[in-house]
Chain A
Amino acid sequence: MDCRLCSDELTAYLDGELSAADATRIRQHVEACPPCQDELQALRGAADFVESHVQAVEPVPEIWNNLRARIAAMPAPADRSGFFQFLVVNRWAAMLATLASTAVLALGLWGYLAHQAAQQALESYMNDYILERSVAERLYAVQIRQWRNLTSVAGVNWVPVSENPFVDQRPVSLANPFVSEER
């Protein structure tokens, strides 16, 4: 094993992410190779340094208190069965029940399992996306809340600014409104 290959694996080695065989190979190389030893030491040193001096924050009670209040105001958690399950799966189950011969049943069973896997993959795909969108909606609500708080402060004039993507974000001259001016 040469040093270049070894050095790529050093972090994974430190994190215990290598297979036993790979880890042994790295260890053996490092024992015989001073530059790699230094590299390993340096990485370990940096990791220790960060670990011993990293700031940790404690969750303040407000977080839970606010959360609790919001949960109370929420509708019941999303339907446990998921909103797609009532669809095709039931049709398959019904179809399976009516199949007579073993051969057809075997095909049906294989088809059913394949279908189940695809169905779950589809559900994951949709759920992941809807989750992303929910996060976006919440952040939007947070922004609105921040805006409302700001506008309620006396004397501060905050206005929702529409992000116009077709305009350079610099002041424009009054004479020709669509030409950006050198600042």
Chain B
Amino acid sequence: MSQRGNRWRMRLLAGTILALALPPAQPRLGAQEVDLGKLRSIAAAQHEIVVTLLNKKEFAKAAEEANKIFQLKWPADQEPVLLEELLRFSDQFRRNAQSALALRMLQSNMGFFRANKSQVAIWKDMGYLHQGMGQPDKAIECFKEAIRLEETPPIKKLP
């Protein structure tokens, strides 16, 4: 059973090496024609690159490569997947004592997320990061922003 897993991983690794060997893929896609399959391929490769860089502790470079995923011209229905990915990366940076970098990554990529729900999740994560960094003032501001964007407002009038 584990052989199947190993084979899959080897193939993915081979694919990554291939992707790394090629020149960086600039998504030269027309605004109208968005090939989802192609986007996913690019993103898949970028994901592996980011993970590799994280394992090598090259955090700044990892953040740079991560940004490239969110800059692609994704259709709106991919947003939940992308949100998961963004927050997943944020977690990994935070756990590696790179909260500041995580914050910057969230701030730079927030603009690519249209849905209120996504933005709420991002603001909350930022609040959590600030709280972990001992910045309660900034944390509160982030949570207030999240509340303002909530679809069913939990609080009527913000303090």
Contact = CB atoms under 8 A, between A and B. Distances in A.
- Consider the complex of A and B and state whether they touch directly, i.e. have CB atoms less than 8 Å apart: yes
Interface of A: 83-84, 87-88, 114-115, 118-119, 121-122, 125-126, 129-130, 133, 140, 157, 159, 161-167, 170-174, 177-178
B140 A172 contact: no
B56 interface: no
Nearest to A121: B155
A32 to B, nearest CB: 42
Give me the 5 closest cross-chain CB pairs, A-B, nearest first.
A177-B15, A166-B44, A178-B41, A166-B43, A118-B159
A173 B155 CA distance: 52
Interface stretch (B4-12, B58-66, B97-105, B106-114): B4-12
Q: Is the interface of B mostly helix, strand, loop or mixed?
A: helix
B11 A172 contact: yes
Contact of A164 (B18, B44, B124, B139): B44
Given A119-B159, A122-B144, A159 B9 contact: yes
Contacts, number: 92
Contacts of A133: 128
Contacts of B47: 162, 164-166
A170 B5 CA distance: 9
B45 interface: yes
Nearest to B92: A162
Contacts of A130: 128, 131
Given A87-B136, A174-B14, A162 B4 contact: no
A118 B157 contact: yes
A165 B40 CA distance: 9
Contacts of A115: 159
B2 interface: yes
Contact of A165 (B4, B85, B128, B140): B85
Interface string B147-159: 1000000111111
9 contacts: A125-B143, A125-B154, A129-B124, A130-B128, A130-B131, A164-B47, A171-B8, A177-B11, A177-B16
Given A165-B81, A178-B41, A129 B157 contact: no
Contacts of B2: 157
Contact of B140 (A114, A126, A161, A164): A126
